[in-house]
Amino acid sequence: GQNIDQPTEMTATEGAIVQINCTYQTSGFNGLFWYQQHAGEAPTFLSYNVLDGLEEKGRFSSFLSRSKGYSYLLLKELQMKDSASYLCAVRDSNYQLIWGAGTKLIIKP
């Protein structure tokens, strides 16, 4: 079967750095996506990785290791508005997205 694993919940402090991990087992791999979802809202696109390595976009970075079936999302200089759920999704061999259940990130002052 296909499986995406991410921690259910994480807590971090405003101004700090947090790393959210995602491991996957899918039938084929055609890219990995990270989305942010605030409570009661739709997911919004954050990043896309298809090759191994780090992609940096402002305070957010995403890393991929295809050989390990592993990715992480790194959030720096945390702000209260970063409190949200972060969803990991892998595009499989059928070009469908397989979604993790999401990691709820709680930011404390």
Partner 1 sequence: DAGITQSPRHKVTETGTPVTLRCHQTENHRYMYWYRQDPGHGLRLIHYSYGVKDTDKGEVSDGYSVSRSKTEDFLLTLESATSSQTSVYFCAIIDLKETQYFGPGTRLLVL
Using CB under 8 A, list all residues that contact partner 1. Answer: 4, 31, 33, 41-45, 48, 87, 89, 91, 95-102
CB of 66 to partner 1, least distance (A): 18
Cβ nearer to partner 1, comparing 1 with 58: 1
The residue assigned the tokens 């290791």 is 65
When the beta carbons of 64 and 91 are compared against partner 1, the nearer one is 91
What pairing do the DSSP bridges indicate for beta strands 3-5 and 84-91?
A: unpaired
What is the nearest approach in angstroms of partner 1 to the Cβ of residue 100? 5
Structure tokens at 101: 């259940």
Amino acid in position 12: A
Distance CA 76, CA 55 (A): 14
